Amino acid sequence: MNFILLGPPGSGKGTQAKNIVKKFNVSSLSTGEIFRNIKKQNNSIKKLISTGRLVPDRIVIDILFDCFKKNKYFESGFVLDGFPRTISQAKGLNVLLNLKHIKVDVVFFLDVNSNEVIKRILKRMICSCGLSYNIMSYNVGNRYNYCICGKKLKKRDDDKEKVIKERLCIYEKFTKPLIEYYKKFGILVYIDGSRDEMCVFKQINSYVKKRNFY
């Protein structure tokens, strides 16, 4: 089964992608993660991301084609998190999938309003070991702001308030039209993403079960 997670920054796409991978044994492809790795070597991409702007469609689609070529996304099924981000990326994805005679089964739209998004992202902290935290829910004694591995937590470059607002503007303008786009294909499923992580996943899970995909 092939999933897409759609939603504003901070709507929990990454978390739900991980839950889906664990439960349904599909491969995951997070373009955000890919770009955060690429930007370590590529200064122009680094600049785009740290100011909240979109990476050009051409580059994103090339990277995606490359990932699909190298990995076994087609056999195991996949979950895409952070892609497509524009209509033209969605069209590029369609071309790629048509070539392989596969289709997207469901697009989960995680709906969270902008105020909640800003609140959530400002609370997000990461560690270089790969763990991430919500600093409001993570306050263990005086080790506040430290990871369980002992290192100090920091903010992601793209998690500063000005950058978040820029990302939200871009989301409204370029990514939100994808809701209508996938509605036309009859595969869009609305999820209230403002609830806690487990509630959201329960709804995703019960939808998949109901459709008898698994």
**SS3 category, 81:** strand
Binding pattern to Zn ion, positions 125-154, x when CB under 5 A? --x-x-x---------------x-x-x---
Those residues with Cβ within 8 angstroms of residue 201's Cβ, 6 or more apart along the chain or in another chain = 16, 19, 23
Q: Is 156 considered catalytic here?
A: yes
Q: How far apart are CA 130 and CA 165, in angstroms?
A: 25
| Closest distance of CB 82 from Zn ion, Å | 23
Of 18, 36, 123, 124, catalytic: 124
Neighbour count for residue 61 (Cβ, 10 Å): 19
Contacts (Cβ under 8 Å, ≥6 apart) of 7: 13, 109, 110, 111, 112, 193
Choice between 135 and 179, CB closer to Zn ion: 135
Instruction: Indicate the residue among 149 and 169 with the shorter CB distance to Zn ion.
Output: 149
- Considering only residues 149 through 188, tell me which ones interact with Zn ion, judged by CB under 5 A: 149, 151
Work out how close the CB of 30 gets to Zn ion at its nearest, in angstroms, rounded to a whole number: 19
Cβ–Cβ under 8 Å, residues 46 and 99: no
Q: Which is nearer to Zn ion, 99 or 129 (CB)?
A: 129
What is the smallest separation between the CB atom of 141 and Zn ion, expressed in angstroms?
17
Nearest residue to 171 via CA among 8, 4, 6, 5: 8
- Positions annotated as catalytic residues are 13, 85, 124, 156, 167
Q: Which residues bind Zn ion (CB under 5 A)?
A: 127, 129, 131, 147, 149, 151
